[in-house]
Amino acid sequence: MSGIGWIGAIIIGGLAGWVAEKVMNADHGLLTNILLGIAGALVLNAILGLLLGGTLGGWIGQFIVALVGAILLIWGWRMLRARSS
């Protein structure tokens, strides 16, 4: 989440995590939402950087990356839990 600072990353991560929670019909708390959004953004930014040589910029671009990343993390977690049960 380059260029938006830590406060911006927390705000975007929290919003993206909350939206991802609603989209995926999950039940997480505020802290988990923020962490999922930030982790999702970090993971997807790294993947986009490797595949495309760059990532989406600005607040809206980072929100989209964080949202998609958080949704993928929730989906992946569900797949791992389903496989282990």
**Per residue in 36-82, pLDDT tens?**
888 888 888 889 889 988 878 888 988 998 899 999 998 988 888 88
pTM for this prediction: 0.82
Number of domains composing the chain:
1
Q: What is the pLDDT of residue 71?
A: 92
User: Which residues, 6+ apart, have CB-to-CB distance to 10 below 8 Å?
Assistant: 34, 38
Going by pLDDT thresholds of 50, 70 and 90, the confidence category of residue 19 is very high
- pLDDT on residue 2: 58
Neighbours of 25 (CB within 10 A): 7
How many angstroms separate the CA atoms of 8 and 4, rounded?
5
